[in-house]
Amino acid sequence: MTQVFDIVVVGAGMVGAALATGLGQNGFRVALVDRAPPPDFDPESAPDIRVSALSAGSERYLQSLGAWDHILGMRSTPYRRLAMWDETRYPLQNLVPRKLAEVQFDATELGAHHLGHIVENSVTQQALWQTAEACPQISLFHGQGVASLAQSGDTATVTLDDDRELLASLVVGCDGAQSRIRDLAGIGVTRNQYDQQAMVISVRYQGPVEDITWQGFHPSGPRAFLPLHSAGPEHPGESWGSLVWYDSPDELARLKALDDSTLMSEIQSSFPASLPLLTHIDIKASFPIARQHAKQYHSGRVVLAGDSAHTINPLAGQGVNLGFQDAQALQSALKEAKRAGDDLANPKWLNLYEQQRRPANRRMMLTMDLFYHLFSNRIPPVHLLRNLGLGAARALPFARNRVARYAMGIDEKLPAVVRQIASRIPGLNQL
């Protein structure tokens, strides 16, 4: 059986489902393919261990797709403050007051109601599946993987595991870091593995839902707290949260082997005193951290978006926000191609997309790498310099807040002075 579409999107995760929805709402005939069945939402269930800090920019995009109300109807947690500080202790620390190495961002100071929302990945995906299913231009193929991909002069053919053939002008790979579409298109990647891994721990804690996320930087890696929703009437006076602990693989293996009571004691002693009192550990998992970037974003009738094109250090939780930016840029380029009556795989429009997104994604990769190396460096002079840097951010609220508004998606562009400085850094614009 053969079906014809304008575009086949492979991968119905958050980015793929968002892109398919946006394209379908703009009149494209879209096939959305994924091995997994549609996600379910149970309001009584414990939270998904995978959560994302959605920026204000991502919220606007999800609102434009009609998905945001679905998310609010399930579970989401706004955060209004973000704190970060250096937990490394060295003799030179006496040269810098403790409070100088702490910086906090507050939505009120940024002229915003909140900085973003912490949302379970499964909730975001479910909301986007609902919008996709409601769009008559979109056909969903779930429970099916891609068996093969063939490209001809004017058509790409995606053959599913059940031998159905999907014909389209363009195939979009949104199928993750191990993208099969990327491999079938012959697009290579550069990859750098970090020495650290990350462990995510779903916990309950005493007290109401917090409105702050924080990240403390330790010599062995950062540790973060992300507030989630109330634990409900079954656990009165308790709330859900997500902890992220970066460390060596050996140390995380040791921590995972501990019983829950011992692990809670380790967390309370190893995390800052501001961590609420833990009452329960629900689930924990660790995963390696790698930076990966496709050598090109398109080849023939195949184009990549989201984790298929790039993965970054999850230090600041920017992965899904970058993916949504990819989706918006690709959606815009394809709308222009359609308006011009061009082939959707015309390199003119796919190059435009890559020219918009590759430099932005590379700059974010560079930024996360700089943070990673800067805050894992134990050399005392470097330790002093990064504390002074945090102190400068604390002492210059205007500059700090302008950059923060951009980083959190409140403003669309960096402040002009920052753009000027960035333009003078050798090679940065070519990244």
More confident residue, 112 or 377: 112
Per DSSP, the three-state class of 174 is: coil
pLDDT of 100 higher than 80: no
The CA–CA distances, whole Å, from 416 to 74, 112, 428 equal 39, 21, 16
What is the reported pLDDT for 78? 95
Is there a shared CATH topology between the 2-67+122-191+291-430 domain and the 79-118+194-290 domain? no
Of 22, 20, 47, 50, residue with least CA distance to 34 = 20
Of 21, 33, 131, 87, residue with least CA distance to 220 = 87
Please state which architecture CATH assigns to domain 2-67+122-191+291-430: 3-Layer(bba) Sandwich (3.50)
DSSP letters, 282-294, are EEEEEEEEEEEEE
For residue 339, is it left (φ>0), alpha (ψ between -120 and 50) or beta?
alpha
Mean pLDDT across 242-259: 94
* Share above pLDDT 90 across residues of the chain, in percent, rounded to a whole number: 61
What is the reported pLDDT for 89? 57
Q: In this predicted model, what pLDDT tens digit does every residue of 71-88 receive, in sequence order? A: 999 999 999 988 877 666
CATH number assigned to the domain covering 79-118+194-290: 3.30.9.10
Residue 139: its H or E element? strand 138-142
Q: In this predicted model, what pLDDT tens digit does every residue of 385-415 receive, in sequence order? A: 444 444 444 444 444 444 444 454 444 454 4
Q: How confident is the model at residue 216 (pLDDT cuts 50, 70, 90)?
A: confident
Query: 175 is written with which tokens?
Result: 């199928």
Q: How far apart are alpha carbons 48 and 73 in whole angstroms? A: 16
pLDDT of 270 higher than 70: yes
Contact indicator for 199, 254 with CB cutoff of 8 Å: no
What's the mean pLDDT when you consider all of the chain? Answer: 84
Q: How far apart are alpha carbons 147 and 161 in whole angstroms? A: 5
What is the reported pLDDT for 340? 97
What is the reported pLDDT for 373? 58
Contact indicator for 85, 390 with CB cutoff of 8 Å: yes
Of 30, 103, 313, 329, residue with least CA distance to 194 = 313
Which residue matches tokens 């961002």? 105
Q: How confident is the model at residue 375 (pLDDT cuts 50, 70, 90)?
A: low
Query: 247 is written with which tokens?
Result: 């460390």
Contacts of 418 (CB under 8 A, 6+ apart): 402, 403, 406
Q: Give the count of alpha carbons within 13 A of 198, CB side only.
A: 20
pLDDT of 228 higher than 70: yes
What is the reported pLDDT for 382? 40
Contact indicator for 359, 414 with CB cutoff of 8 Å: no
pLDDT of 68 higher than 90: yes
Mean pLDDT across 165-177: 97
What is the reported pLDDT for 376? 53
What is the reported pLDDT for 414? 47
For the chain, the C-alpha Rg in angstroms (whole number) is 22
Q: Which phi and psi angles does 297 have, rounded to 5°?
A: -90, -10
Q: How far apart are alpha carbons 53 and 37 in whole angstroms? A: 24
Q: Which phi and psi angles does 306 have, rounded to 5°?
A: 65, -145
Q: Which phi and psi angles does 35 have, rounded to 5°?
A: -70, -35
Q: In this predicted model, what pLDDT tens digit does every residue of 319-338 receive, in sequence order? A: 899 999 999 999 999 999 99
Pair type for strands 77-79 and 116-120: antiparallel
Enumerate the domain spans of the chain.
2-67+122-191+291-430, 79-118+194-290
Q: Give the count of alpha carbons within 13 A of 398, CB side only.
A: 1
More confident residue, 423 or 229: 229
Report which listed range, 193-202, 339-348, 354-363, is most confident: 339-348
* Sign of torsion over alpha carbons 226, 252, 202, 56: positive
Buried b (16+ CB within 10 A) or exposed e, 91-130: eebeebeeebbbbebbbeebebebbbbbbbbbbbbbbbbb
Question: Quick one: how far is CA 213 from the chain centroid?
Answer: 16
